[in-house]
Amino acid sequence: MGRLAPLSEEPINAEDDNTNSKGRGQTWRNWIKTHFSLVFNKKSDLKILLSVLGCPLFPVPVHPKQPFNEVSSSAQYIIQHFAAATGCRKLEGTVKNIFATGKVTMAMVDDLGSAGSAAGATGVSQKGCFVMWQMVPNNWLIELVVGSHKVVAGSDGSVAWRHTPWLGAHAAKGGVRPLRRAFQGLDPMAISAVFSLAQYMGEKRISGIDCFVLKLSADQTDLAERSDSTAEMIKHVVFGYFSQRSGLLVHLEDSYLTRIQSPGTHPTYWETTMSTRIDDYRTVEGVMVSHAGQSSVIITRFGDNLKPPGPAITRMEETWTIDDLAFNVPGLSIDCFIPPTDVQKDFPEEDLVWGSPSD
């Protein structure tokens, strides 16, 4: 099962005269300038939508390293309720792989209304589809096509990578992390495993639903591995909102903050928040799996050297539906997850492109 051939596409032309891009040999500093130009360049809406919403990674690995004795009994109760509601315990040890196909609609949102609410998608909506394979626990592959562009990303359990026509293939820094889409209700077994070690944060009403809130944070070692001398990952946290009534995961929110500073310049900070509503749970082989939802992203750039003064904000949205999902698909082997031979491990990682200006 090979990767589909990437669709042809012209390279990005950054509007910064100082961005002397030289293909894959471009410097880290020049790449940052190119990417930042892309994020706030309205002509590049589709590229930044795919960069941010296409295949972001989850903040923590499937098997967090927190000591078990630090886990609260409240978190354990919430996850036991979730496991019972989804029925995922009955599949433990029997699921070898997961296959899913779905559709997406993405759009930029230019205006923010009162209290930060979206005034509506003012850009042209972009429709597309995706196919995802996952082999438990850490092998996954996704191909996402929107408009004339395609993004492919995957993990072989040792390295997570992504391929875009405008950046080529590049690996993520730091340890291997799962695909965020799998945690939008698609993989209740992984959700149960990860959030069983979460911190209980109390109760909150969201979208009219009374929820228990669990929090996970990337530890300092992981953040350091995802940083370098120019880009420092300061935090990456995720909150899971579990319905008190149904026990299901109904909302997922993660945010991360990156400090960017090239030699001789003032630092710039990028904060990205992705919020996902998870809907339409249906039974698949006896397990409750979400089949629809909506994500919204706000990227805020701030710093002393911005012109005009004040933070620059970009907002985008995605709606998604699942057409088909199956467990234990015959014929899927470990060879399906081998990364491309041209993966560049020294390329900027996803924290400046995969899901925010951070990748």
Report DSSP state, residue 111.
-
In a domain, 8, yes or no: no
pLDDT tens, per residue, the chain with 359 residues: 333 333 322 233 333 333 333 433 343 344 444 444 444 444 468 888 898 999 999 998 886 444 444 445 789 899 999 999 999 998 888 999 999 999 999 999 865 433 333 345 556 789 999 999 999 878 999 999 998 899 999 999 988 999 988 888 888 887 789 999 999 999 999 999 999 889 999 999 999 999 999 999 999 988 999 888 888 999 999 999 999 999 999 999 999 999 988 888 888 899 999 999 999 999 999 999 999 999 999 999 888 776 666 678 889 999 999 999 999 999 888 889 998 887 855 444 344 444 443 34
Whole-prediction pTM: 0.81
In a domain, 139, yes or no: yes
Q: pLDDT by residue (tens digit) across 273-323?
A: 999 999 999 999 999 999 999 999 999 988 877 666 667 888 999 999 999
C-alpha to C-alpha distance for 270 and 258, rounded to whole angstroms:
5
In a domain, 15, yes or no: no
Domain residues for 179?
A: 23-352
In a domain, 164, yes or no: yes
In a domain, 7, yes or no: no
Phi, psi of 79 (to 5 degrees): -70, -35
C-alpha to C-alpha distance for 359 and 341, rounded to whole angstroms:
21
In a domain, 9, yes or no: no
Pull the structure tokens for residue 257: 């903050």
In a domain, 142, yes or no: yes
Q: CB–CB of 351/258 below 8 Å?
A: yes
Average pLDDT for the chain: 80
Number of domains in the chain: 1
In a domain, 323, yes or no: yes
Map tokens 């609609």 to a residue. Answer: 105
Angle at 111 between CA 106 and CA 112, to 5 degrees: 105
Q: pLDDT by residue (tens digit) across 211-247?
A: 999 999 999 988 999 888 888 999 999 999 999 999 9
Q: CB–CB of 233/223 below 8 Å?
A: yes
Q: CB–CB of 287/79 below 8 Å?
A: no
HSE, CB side, 13 Å, CA atoms: give it for residue 108: 21
**CATH number, position 231:** 2.50.20.10
